[in-house]
Structure 1
Amino acid sequence: MKKLNSVLLIDDDMATNFISKMLIKKAGITDHIETVLNEQQAIEYLKNSGKYENSDGIFPKPMLILLDINMPVMDGWEFAEAFSKLDENQKGEVIIVMLTSSLNPDDKERAANLPVISGFQNKILTMEGLNSIMNQYFS
């Protein structure tokens, strides 16, 4: 399985981010996991990824974004819209998978109709779900 240069987690729930981060570390799919608490921070990160240095070097451009739908500043749908307006070099070749606790089938259909959204999964992320994402998009 391919190792990703970076994974970006976008979720306002610290516990969910912690669990996702531990799972990603355990799976060994990347050495760099960036966590942001809202979509606005994610857009700023993407605009700066690959350009600026932090204490670890540069902000690596993510290959995978795990995106929560229901967020306080900007929801997942608004993020998808803002993401689609970024320059191609800011977007990179990223796979965006929406994670949601919503059981609304309309959300899944809406995600399927957005070109920037590659996949849709229920949260909390599981090892099985992560393996499914990796096999589907990065094998």
Structure 2
Amino acid sequence: MQKFSIMIIDDCEDDRYLLKRVIKKLDISTQIFEADNGETALNFLEDYEENYKRFADDFPPLLIFLDINMPRVNGFEFLAAFHKLREANKNYTSSIFIMFTSSAMEEDKRKTEAYDFVKGFLNKGDLSKECIQESIESCMG
């Protein structure tokens, strides 16, 4: 599998750490960006010119893991804002999302399916190397 840049947006530092460890074990990333809430992530992504200068081909991230339940800007609010950002800046059309959440609610999964760039829904309880790899391969394949 070709390596690519990844972003993890989650308010739980432990969950970001665990996911980052699995990603590093899979050896699939060129760069891992992190944000502890949706607002911080949006601010980072909205600054396209500056971040492209800093990270070149690693920006914008190709794969984004997004939590749903976060303070400030939650996952659903983030998806709506990213949808607008994506329409305004075509450089974001290649970004793919995997929801990374503890929510097992079918309603939450249906809400995320409204966005064509959300390609997966991963429960935090399924944080094995195999499960993460399978999710990534099914979204990127």
Which category describes the TM-score, using the shorter chain as reference length?
Answer: 0.7 to 0.9
The count of aligned residue pairs is: 136
Identical-residue share of aligned pairs (%): 32
Q: Assess if the C-alpha contact under 8 Å between 1:11 and 1:71 holds in 2.
A: yes
Pick the structure with more helix per residue: 2
User: Structure 2 CA distance, aligned partners of 1:122 and 1:49?
Assistant: 30
Match of 2:113 in 1: 112
User: Structure 2 CA distance, aligned partners of 1:45 and 1:17?
Assistant: 17
3-state SS of the aligned residue for 1:62?
coil
3-state SS of the aligned residue for 1:93?
coil
User: Structure 2 CA distance, aligned partners of 1:126 and 1:47?
Assistant: 32
User: Structure 1 CA distance, aligned partners of 2:112 and 2:70?
Assistant: 16
Match of 1:76 in 2: 75
Moved over 6 A (4+): none
TM-score by structure 1 length?
Answer: 0.87
TM-score by structure 2 length?
Answer: 0.86
In structure 2, runs of 5+ residues without a counterpart are none
Is residue 24 of structure 1 aligned with residue 26 of structure 2? no
Match of 2:140 in 1: 138
Code of the residue aligned with 1:121 in structure 2: it is: L
Match of 2:2 in 1: 2
1:66-105 matched pairs, under 5 angstroms: 66-86=65-85, 87-105=88-106
